[in-house]
Structure 1
């Protein structure tokens, strides 16, 4: 903690009626998130007898063996596919056939993807290509070696959609771009990798094949017989041993899953990846004076209930200390300077809608951060920009545009936490998904959309009344009430964080109490990326 920063004095009252109500409501949403994620893990682990019969490790066991023991793992897209596969929240299975995230392998920070082959043999879902593309884009942007544990039946032919097939080509193109950029790609071929999925190992730089179970072929035995009439057995057609001795697709042949993962750890270690990046300076830091465990009690689930965003900041930053930039100018929009795990960070948060002064303050603050190379953290709880004659005449459009330009073009890392409302252009000005933040995570209470359901309903009612008045038609109040109820239901159904996260409009849902750890991991990842030297080439490493 810097001497110039004074700790924030919290006025929150743990144990008060409001605190307890907030905490209970937030915990219900956290429990709902955990129950959905546990459903996926349980469904995958139910395949244990089949895996053990083949002498295999389950997908989550593979991940645990691959990563350094006790090291952090930042999962990406944990809720992908939720409410996409089915509209029933009690039956929907999140994950989109992948377990993805940033973790450490032999001391090297890597992007890891594990095919969740315990569920439908790892067959891809509607959201799978979106998730795969996102994690590969992060790997490219953050200069992370990409490690993929492969065992997948490929696209689910019963749920075939031409869009998913087309998007699959983008996944393979990203593999080629990673290699060409100088970022190593490593595959452990644990099981089948058929049809287009065969390009996952073939487009990777290093392939480790597991003897007996690992297979890669453009056409598996069933497709081959259907297409050409040829009858072929698995091993001579695409077995790991054949690829290691005949085709040359496999560089390292493993005896079993555990051996393959051990070889993978050795391959990553031999990259000596960290020699291309300076070590971050040792920094001392103080834990927050106020526990992150208090966050669910600080923030109400109902975004219409106000609270001081500084209470959130005080439970994330070092020593609960920060310096406020222009606190009395556009005061509803907060610009704060602080540290997280000893790393400097500039924070933009909301205590109300953004007015012209708040927008100009943010635009200046962002330019100063760009000048001094300080990362930005956006804490989104925003209903939008101020509207009305007073604000239009004060240049709300003009000043809001300055803010959006600054958010868009700033060159420092940008991390966004969605912690409440995120409506209209407020989402844009606070670095929503469309502005390509380095990382964007949501709390389960987040509500997102062009506007709230009630506001949309009232707006459409005003339009309907005005139209009826112009035509001299009497208004049926019962019809209006029915219209409003329908609009509210339509908007609110799509505004839930569970709905939007299922569609990959963020990088996943997190427990609010994990915010400090998640932001810290993201900041460290961005720090390394911007200081790492890559050795790119024109076409990527060609397989020989």
Structure 2
């Protein structure tokens, strides 16, 4: 039998403390997410409604199939910057006429939906997801274009948005624009480069230059409607394929377009019968201790995420600090690598390498559950070849061709972050729990290293060592590293695709796997040279 038998004691004080700490962190994340949901604030939203317009989120809700979940991506982008949390745009995956689509909607209540530097970074990440997973994209367009005070950071790299859009079309990925309001200057190229364009009568305004700039450039007098109104584009320029009577009609037309795409997923179908886990996902709240130095069994997480809590563990007696095995999530096969006791030794590295090769042989996606302090250090381990064995694992991850999903649930430090497929190794999706931390090393360790180096430098020069000054610097460095390792900080910089509630893990992973299977699933034919 490969069904996992849980030994989690949900009545223990340790579980209660961990659940309480996780709930506190979730409350902090939800408060930041509420800022993104609030857009430009109640006054701006009220003014938008007064103009007879739906908000971006209301448009998305109407566009999606009834009861379809919406997997919002990078919702905390720009956190900690001078810009609105969410980076003035909403993006995510949802079902439209039964087709998984990427939906992108600038928020016109935030500076008119203008694109700032963080908007670009978020859009580029979304474009990666569209391309890699062959997701049809629906743009809900109403944007003031570039944020002019930051144009120096927006204009030149911003051209890649249009490059990506037209390359998606060339790759056979449907691109659809529903234009609700202003789409000016460079923004005009979004409908201009889309396969299908719907414009709202007396709402859409699409032109390379608005009336004031036209007056300045040519001396010509014009108004919005005759220069770039929806009716003109439907009857005269031909830019609009469909003229919508109002916003609801535009959404209806957009759904019709998707319905007639004849879109087929290219990956294997999941098993028809979906079996729920045997254990309650609510229990995921208390599995990870608030102190990440305390070990926990990742199998307890796996048992509450995979179908039927059925986990066929691979090499269970070898390299026990890394758990590997086969399972299904929502009927999709998955290989799982999960850190059990933080440190990766040579045995774990070799085990991971073999497991990744096997997954590629059988075209099975991989899920990495992070809780690692990195590869083991010390004389014994250097002599034993930890560098070449760690490099072997990183080589395998880097050259694996099956889709990867990474989930940071605990620590993710040092090169262990790389070996477990961190952001730089291009997982298709990367999510984090509120308990996660990621940095070059723990704050206390880094502060200690700096103190040791300072002490050595003073001794080599024959100078007295300033204990008090070193302690102050160490405390400052530790506090900085701890703050910068937190998931909200990392999510704000787009180093993950979102912080998720642990209880939603199965749903999020299932949606990600389904999106991944829109594209073909094919493993690597070969790997780089493994140093034995």
Shorter-chain TM-score range: over 0.9
Shift of 1:43: 3.6
- Summarize the Cα distance change of 1:470–1:227 in structure 2 as closer, same or farther, 3 Å threshold: farther
CA 42–373 in structure 1, closer or farther in 2 if over 3 Å, else same: same
Q: 1:96 aligns with which of 87, 94, 113?
A: 87
Aligned to 1:465: 455
Query: Distance between the aligned counterparts of 2:270 and 2:391, measured in 1?
Result: 37
CA-to-aligned-CA distance 1:474-511 (integer Å, 9 cap, x gap)? 00111101110221122222111101101111111111
Q: How does 1:59-458 map to 2 (within 5 A)?
A: 59-85=56-82, 93-158=84-149, 160-274=150-264, 277=266, 280=269, 282-351=271-340, 352-458=342-448
* CA shift for structure 1 position 405: 0.8
Q: Is the 8 A contact 1:150 1:191 kept in 2?
A: yes
Question: Are 1:418 and 1:443, in contact at CA under 8 Å, matched by a contact in 2?
Answer: yes
- The Cα shift of 1:277 comes to 4.2
- Partner deviation per Cα, 1:12-45 (whole Å, 9 max, x = no partner): 2113211111111111111111111122222446
| Change in CA separation of 1:379 and 1:233 when aligned onto 2, cut-off 3 Å | same
Aligned residue number for residue 536 of structure 1? none
- 1:52-63 to 2 correspondences below 5 Å: 52-63=49-60
Shift of 1:231: 3.7
CA distance in 2, matches of 1:446, 1:481: 27
Q: SS state of the match for residue 273, structure 1?
A: coil
Say whether the 8 Å CA contact 1:403–1:429 is kept in structure 2. yes
Distance 1:481 1:48 in 2: 50
Aligned residue number for residue 34 of structure 1: 30
- Asked if 2 retains the 8 angstrom alpha-carbon contact of 1:55 and 1:256, the reply is no
CA distance in 1, matches of 2:328, 2:437: 28
Q: Report if aligned partners of 1:224, 1:231 keep a CA contact under 8 Å in 2.
A: yes
SS in 2 for 1:36: helix
Shift of 1:227: 4.4
Asked if the contact 1:382/1:423 (under 8 Å) is kept, the reply is yes
Give the Cα–Cα distance (whole angstroms) in 1 for the partners of residues 212 and 287 of structure 2: 57
Counterpart position of 1:498:
488
Distance 1:471 1:277 in 2: 66
Q: Tell me the CA shift for residue 166 of structure 1.
A: 1.9
Q: For 2:314 and 2:425, how far apart are their aligned partners in 1?
A: 24
SS in 2 for 1:529: coil
Structure 1 Cα separation of the partners of residues 62 and 194 of structure 2: 21
Q: Which one is further off, 315-324 or 206-215?
A: 315-324
Unaligned runs of 5+ in 1: 87-92, 533-544
Superposition deviation, residue 226 in structure 1: 4.5
- 1:51 maps to 2:48: yes
* Deviation of 1:313 (Å): 0.9
| d(CA) in 1 for partners of 2:448, 2:198 | 59
C-alpha displacement at 1:279, in angstroms? 7.3
Instruction: Give 1:126 deviation, angstroms.
Output: 2.4
- Decide whether the 8 Å contact of 1:500 with 1:506 is kept in 2: yes
How far is the alpha carbon of 1:125 from its aligned partner? 2.6
CA RMSD of aligned residues (A): 1.7
How far is 1:99 from its partner? 1.0
TM-score in terms of structure 2 length? 0.95
Structure of greater relative contact order (alpha carbons < 8 Å, 6+ residues apart): 1
Check conservation: 1:301, 1:420, Cα contact below 8 A.
Answer: no
Query: C-alpha distance in 1, partners of 2:496/2:229?
Result: 38
Would the aligned equivalents of 2:364 and 2:521 in 1 still touch at CA under 8 Å?
no
The residue number in structure 2 matching 1:17 is 13
Superimposed CA distance per residue, residues 302-353 of structure 1 (whole angstroms, 9 cap, x where no aligned partner): 2112111111111111222212211121111111211212222111011121
- Sort the Cα spacing of 1:279 and 1:450 in 2 relative to 1 into closer, same or farther, 3 A: closer
Alpha-carbon deviation of 1:370?
A: 0.8
Residue 529 of structure 2 aligns with which residue?
none
Q: How far apart in 2 are the matches of 1:196 and 1:253?
A: 22
After TM superposition, give the deviation of residue 402 of structure 1 in Å: 0.8
